[in-house]
Structure 1
Amino acid sequence: MADNDQLQVELVAADRTVWSGQATMIIAKTADGDIGVLRNHMPVLSLLVDGVISVDPVDGDRMYAAVDGGFLSVANNRVSILAQYAALADEIDVEAARAEFEAAQGEDSDEAQERARRAEARIRAVEKAS
């Protein structure tokens, strides 16, 4: 597949580049709903919500990552996903995420609800990857 048939993708967290490479498709959850990005997609700048992103790399199986909000930028077959936290499914400790989810469920505050949403995204990423 020629380079012009691919997307150049950068998944970046505040502390590191989580994944960078060529992909054929990206699916992400934005504030306006799910978005799928293929080659030659129109330019987009969107707010991401806590959730799961899927990446179909040119070489290999579909990958899943959990993100805590952030931004999605698409232009000229380049996709940038910037988040405070992002991790590939195989990097996530699912038992720790489940414990965090259960602990947050027992509290009644906006902060606890946010922690629960983020933990749930991590759990979903691992479940989709398996």
Structure 2
Amino acid sequence: MTMATEMQVCLRLPSRVLFEGTAVGLRGEAADGGFGILPNHVDFVTELVASVLLIRLPDGDERIFGIDEGLLVKKGHKLDVVVRRGVESDDLDALRDTVADSFAGLEDEEKVARAALSRLEADMVRRFASLRKPHS
């Protein structure tokens, strides 16, 4: 691996890409604590926990993301991050409200979907049970 000053970062959600671009550093939180990655960091994989993810861009700006659980894979000069849920905010103060609003809406949608799935499962069990009854 050659020495590099930048790395390619892709932050993905299940439904879309939240960030894709060049970075000079990344700061995140794993189950065993916080960590930082620079372009020439050793390759590794880690599980992410709900936290703040900071991506430092080549121009010195930082992109701030509130993320849910996920996985980070660093290989060469490429960094892939996949998370269940994530939102971007302009600053840390606004991030708390943005995360609360976005994640609460998603949780409501998940509850509705789980309830519908439970009804379908119950209906399927009833139909299978009726197939086992002897016909008279």
TM-score by length of 2: 0.64
Q: Deviations over 1:23-74 (max 9, x none)?
A: 0000010111111000111011000000100000113511110111100111
The structure with higher relative contact order (CA 8 Å, sep 6+) is 1
Following TM superposition, the consecutive aligned residue runs of length 4 or more in structure 1 with deviations greater than 2 angstroms are: 90-93
Q: Percent identity?
A: 25
Paired residue secondary structure (2:39)? coil
Which residue is equivalent to 2:9?
A: 9
TM-score (norm 1): 0.67
Show the counterpart of 1:47: 47
Change (3 A) 1:89 1:19: same
Aligned residue for 2:125?
none
CA separation in 1, counterparts of 2:19 and 2:38?
A: 18
Structure 1: state its 5+ residue gaps: 102-130
Query: Pick from 89, 94, 97: which aligns with 1:94?
Result: 97
CA deviation vs aligned residue, 1:100-130 (integer Å, no higher than 9, x gap)? 88xxxxxxxxxxxxxxxxxxxxxxxxxxxxx
1:67 alignment counterpart? 67
Q: Does the CA contact (< 8 Å) of 1:13 and 1:82 recur in 2?
A: yes
Distance 1:14 1:44 in 2: 22
Aligned length: 98
Give the greater-gyration-radius structure (CA): 2
The root-mean-square deviation of aligned C-alpha atoms, in Å, is: 2.6
- In 2, the alpha carbon distance for the partners of 1:42 and 1:29 equals 17
Contact 1:63 1:88 (C-alpha < 8 Å) held by counterparts: yes
Q: What SS class does the counterpart of residue 24 from structure 2 fall into?
A: strand
